[in-house]
Chain A
């Protein structure tokens, strides 16, 4: 068991099973489903509310009942810790710049940072317009066999495949 935790990679069927079971556990024990994008909306809203006190009223943005920092926010913080823990145990070292990116756009970290920022921006705009992301729609929605979840998966693969083929001609 100890050596397993120190592995650099687990096979996909194991990881997928773990995620499926985790999704079940959160439903049964906490009445929550896995999801990552709403936390970003909340963190962003909280930050903006701090900096610009009139923010909520101005946009008419409603946060449903309770504190703006909710279960999903702690979930996302947990993801950060979990990713760190896994890498720490296995000695995983990430590439400075992903090699597929570098093969196509060169070794400039600045360029990669800009790409990541823009990508993240478009990603989250899409996620919140869809009201979910791969965790929320594809996995949680997918396991519920939701039409929203399955349509989302088809949409992201359609545009993701097209975009990747346009952006990354080398190093595939």
Chain B
């Protein structure tokens, strides 16, 4: 489980890599991000996919700590304390992302997408903090 969490959180870090956007993935016409009579919005899909994955990685870390609390507490009380600081931030950033996403859906302009990306960047920092405190597999 620890190895899995480390991989998940490492993968989140990869999303910050500038080279991650230099791909040729395509959206099948008719899907939510490529609706009829609209320009396919691959960036919207990628931001949403990164948000979804980042959220899942953080939830996995929170769940892992909750399920193994007593054992992890004996290893280092700072694990729970750090994640307890991240928990409310995760909830708040989730609200902010969903609000920004609704704004972008209503008006798909670059400025609104930027707000989504800024909130996502904050969530990725949470993931990095969680990764730093979760014990690594030996």
A and B bind: no
Please list the residues of chain B having a beta carbon within 8 angstroms of any beta carbon in chain A.
Answer: none
